[in-house]
Amino acid sequence: MGWFDGSLKEESKFIAMLIGQATKSVEAIHYLVRTLEQVNADTIKAVHTLADEASELRRVLIDELHKTFITPLDREDIFNLSHCFEDMVTYALTTVEEMNILRVDADDYIREMMKLVCEETEQLELAILRLAKNPHVALDHAHEVRKLERRVERLYRAAIKDLFARATDPERLPGLFYRREVYRHISNMSDRADSAANVFGMVIMKLT
Domains of the chain are 8-207 (1.20.58.220)
Task: Answer yes or no: is pLDDT of 5 > 50.
Answer: no
Q: Could you give the residue ranges of the DSSP H alpha helices within the chain?
A: 13-34, 41-67, 75-101, 108-130, 135-165, 173-207
Task: Answer yes or no: is pLDDT of 42 > 50.
Answer: yes
Sorting pLDDT into bands at 50, 70 and 90, what band is 2? very low
- For 120, what's the count of Cα atoms within 13 Å in the CB-facing half-sphere? 36
User: Which one, of 98, 90, 85, lies nearest residue 51 by Cα?
Assistant: 90
Please give the pLDDT value at position 69.
83
Sorting pLDDT into bands at 50, 70 and 90, what band is 59? very high
CA 68/CA 97 separation, integer angstroms: 37
Average pLDDT, the chain: 92
Amino acid occupying residue 97: E
CA 47/CA 32 separation, integer angstroms: 8
Q: Please compute the mean of the pLDDT values over residues 183-191 and round it to a whole number.
A: 98
Total-model pTM: 0.91
Task: Answer yes or no: is pLDDT of 7 > 60.
Answer: no
